[in-house]
Structure 1
Amino acid sequence: MRHREGCAGKDDSLQPPWHDPSMDLPAPLAWLVDEAGTSPSPERFLADLGGHLLAAGLPLAGGALTLAAPHPIITQHTWLWRAETGAVVEALGFAGTALGQAGRDWLGELGPACEETIGTAPGNSLLAWAGTRPFSSSETDSLRQVTRFAAAPLAGLAARATLSTLLEAYLGRRSAARVQAGALSRSTGETIRAALLCADLRDFTALSEATEPTVIIAALDAWFDRVAGAVHAFGGEVLKFIGDGVLAIFPVTGTPTEACEAALRAVTAIRAGMAHLDATRANQGLPPLPFGAALHFGDMLWGNIGAADRLDFTAIGPAVNLVSRLEGLCKPLGRNILVSGSVAAETTMPLLSLGDYELRGIAEPCAVFTLAEN
């Protein structure tokens, strides 16, 4: 075990119930062997382990558990447990951050701390503890044993956390949760109500043919950053990127008005973000990135569609078709944001009516609006 300054202390032995006479192992180690592998989450694992160590007489002020994360932005998750309250909070680590740094910083404010790194695929994890006083040599030996016995259940937790992180990165949070919950059968799903956002870059094919691939990729990334950032900021979820297009949803979790107004705020933020991006590109001698975005509100089937052995978790239905057709109307109308009548009916935000329009493949004409200041 690597000790931080202040780990050394007097050599006092642990008192019961560190060793349960009815067991072959000390009680915390028996828990790690028999029950920890079924912990539903890293935060629950840390809280339960900390509770067992406290009950065994260890003078803990808090603990930290860090797991590496295979994510494009977040490189690690750290869970921080406070012995006094039993509460657990999560901290995120990003590229360039040392493994467990958030835990070290937090525990350093609680008291003398000790830590040990554990090898868990796909990376390392770290368990660290702060004491109400310096740990004795027998206490640090006990914590070392705890870390060794924690390696197996933590490997399982790390594998599940890795799967969750990867699914969220590729599917989005809500869809990933559904897949992890066992929604793996083709042609299964649920009907949900949501505001839908469909957005697309204009004339991007022509730009792609006349521009270096690396420059095109940078432009796409910048575009998707503005869209996804705005969608996530207002509680929505990106379902998929399709070429230079995006499909996102804002499911109804409260009222339809809340979902529609969240989508309207998101599309307003996208417009502001793209205006700033175009100004930056102009200063770099690059052309602007014109776009179109449409909003609609309705019911859709959200679930698995695809081949027997290759599925896509997505949304389909008339509402999805309509928002796609509506987005295609942006260029002919010379507008970069269009809003359907079903969204307009659910909001008090000022919108400008553009009239009713026939949409290809849609039986009824669609009342079309745009942002009042668009």
Structure 2
Amino acid sequence: MKLPITLAWLLDEASTADSADHFLAALGARLIADDLPLAGGALTLAAPHPMIARRTWLWRAETGVVIEALGFEALGSAGSGQDNVGRDWLTRLGGAVVQQDVAGPAPDGPELGWSILRPLTGQESALLHQAARFAAAPLAVLATRSTLAALLEAYLGRRSAAQVLAGRLRRQTGETIRAVLLFGDLRDFTALSETMAPEAVVTALDAWFDRIAGAVHAFGGEVLKFIGDGVLAIFPIGERSPSAACDAALSAVGAARAGMTHLDRTRQQQGLPPLPFGAALHLGEMLWGNIGTADRLDFTAIGPAVNLVSRLEGLCRPLGRSVLISGAVAAETNMKLISLGEQDLRGIATPCAVFTLRED
């Protein structure tokens, strides 16, 4: 007896699927090739992430398109409505819904669901059941890969996680990035932490990072590293123009400044001291790569642009400004900035043209 197309693929090829959306689309297409009357499918995997609890991919048979939905509650939680996103999608496709626990009844195991256009025959039902059984192994591989990627991104950031997953695990390997660099840190935080309980210090740091990193991400940037109470972020040039990256970075620091102003008002109402900060922007190239010992590595940023943006941020206190912008960034934007003239930067041979935001 010839093995159905679906089962042969699950046995021989499915474990090489590079992502859950490709797996779901390929599985659904093969089930249709085996004459199953499918309108669509849904695949849910747990996602160990600080914010995301699960990811669900939704496939429409008519178009072959797969979209993704994120769940922000614990898997299987009642009342949130988000735990039924797969079932809701399948129901809207108009067919009866067949739900399958691929790895048994474990609450965080992979789940497959299908919308069927008509009742299944006994043979079709058996094939669908067998497909779920055979899918357990490749889905376990996908789930492990997804878990590892989520954990690495949570602790290393997207760019560094991608390098680790790609096997770049030796010193002196990395990538040169042309980007707008943002460096910021809190002022007088060492002294402040001497008078605060450790829990209050962590709360203050989290509030600061929420606002600066949240603004970076909102405008398309990426946080590379948290350094004590500081943060290094980039707005890569990539396929967009330098002016677009500069405008995004300027918008981000403006949003972060507004967020910190609001936070300081809230802290004042609570009888807490403000959290003054400094942030600097510069456009240039940096090397982002591995340093460390033979068996313990870390990612770091190296290059003249990194040195300049760090030194520029150090001028925030002497110049009485919370945001400073290099001439390289100012030359690429039409945003109205205030010139502070040329300034000497410690350790930098050439003076730097320095600007700041209006109403700073």
| TMscore range, shorter length | over 0.9
**What's the counterpart of residue 18 of structure 1?**
none
Aligned partners of 1:187 and 1:305 also within 8 Å: yes
Distance 1:222 1:340 in 2: 27
Q: CA deviation at 1:89?
A: 0.4
The structure 1 residue matched to 2:41, chosen from 31, 52, 63, is 63
Distance 2:258 2:297 in 1: 35
**Aligned pair in 2 of structure 1 residues 223, 137: CA closer, same or farther (>3 Å)?**
farther
Distance 1:289 1:30 in 2: 61
**What's the counterpart of residue 237 of structure 1?**
222
Q: CA deviation at 1:227?
A: 1.0
Distance 2:75 2:252 in 1: 31
Q: Percent identity between the aligned chains?
A: 68
**What's the counterpart of residue 104 of structure 1?**
87
Distance 1:283 1:117 in 2: 51
The structure 2 residue matched to 1:114, chosen from 83, 94, 98, is 98
**What's the counterpart of residue 294 of structure 1?**
280
Distance 2:234 2:14 in 1: 37
**Aligned pair in 2 of structure 1 residues 102, 314: CA closer, same or farther (>3 Å)?**
farther
**What's the counterpart of residue 80 of structure 2?**
none
Aligned partners of 1:112 and 1:135 also within 8 Å: no
Matches within 5 A, 1:259-278: 259-278=245-264
1:91 maps to 2:69: yes
**What's the counterpart of residue 320 of structure 1?**
306
Q: CA deviation at 1:239?
A: 0.6
**What's the counterpart of residue 139 of structure 2?**
154
The structure 1 residue matched to 2:346, chosen from 360, 367, 372, is 360
Q: CA deviation at 1:138?
A: 4.1
**What's the counterpart of residue 3 of structure 1?**
none
Q: CA deviation at 1:101?
A: 2.4
- Name the stretch that deviates more: 87-96 or 276-285: 276-285
1:44 maps to 2:30: no
Matches within 5 A, 1:1-374: 21=1, 23=2, 25-96=3-74, 98=76, 101-110=84-93, 111-119=95-103, 123-253=108-238, 254-374=240-360
Q: CA deviation at 1:141?
A: 2.9
Distance 1:290 1:29 in 2: 61
**Aligned pair in 2 of structure 1 residues 357, 83: CA closer, same or farther (>3 Å)?**
same
Q: CA deviation at 1:40?
A: 1.1
**Aligned pair in 2 of structure 1 residues 135, 225: CA closer, same or farther (>3 Å)?**
farther
- Name the stretch that deviates more: 150-159 or 88-97: 88-97
The number of equivalent residue pairs is 352
Aligned to 2:110, the other structure's residue is in SS state: strand
Aligned to 2:196, the other structure's residue is in SS state: coil
Aligned to 2:131, the other structure's residue is in SS state: helix
What residue identity is the alignment partner of 1:34?
Answer: D
Aligned to 1:148, the other structure's residue is in SS state: helix
Aligned partners of 1:325 and 1:359 also within 8 Å: yes
Q: CA deviation at 1:124?
A: 1.3
**Aligned pair in 2 of structure 1 residues 55, 165: CA closer, same or farther (>3 Å)?**
same
Report the TM-score, using the length of structure 2 for normalisation: 0.93
Q: Deviations over 1:109-167 (max 9, x none)?
A: 11211112233999411111111134445433322211111000000011111111112
Aligned to 2:275, the other structure's residue is in SS state: coil
Distance 1:308 1:230 in 2: 36
Aligned to 2:300, the other structure's residue is in SS state: strand
Distance 1:90 1:274 in 2: 33
Aligned partners of 2:159 and 2:224 also within 8 Å: no
**Aligned pair in 2 of structure 1 residues 108, 369: CA closer, same or farther (>3 Å)?**
same
Report the TM-score, using the length of structure 1 for normalisation: 0.90
**What's the counterpart of residue 11 of structure 1?**
none
Q: Deviations over 1:55-77 (max 9, x none)?
A: 11111111011110110000111
Q: Deviations over 1:312-348 (max 9, x none)?
A: 2232111111111111111111110000111111111
Aligned to 2:286, the other structure's residue is in SS state: strand
Aligned partners of 1:122 and 1:159 also within 8 Å: no
Q: Structure 2: where are the runs of 5+ without partners?
A: 78-82
What residue identity is the alignment partner of 1:56?
Answer: D
The CA RMSD measured in Å over matched residues stands at 1.7
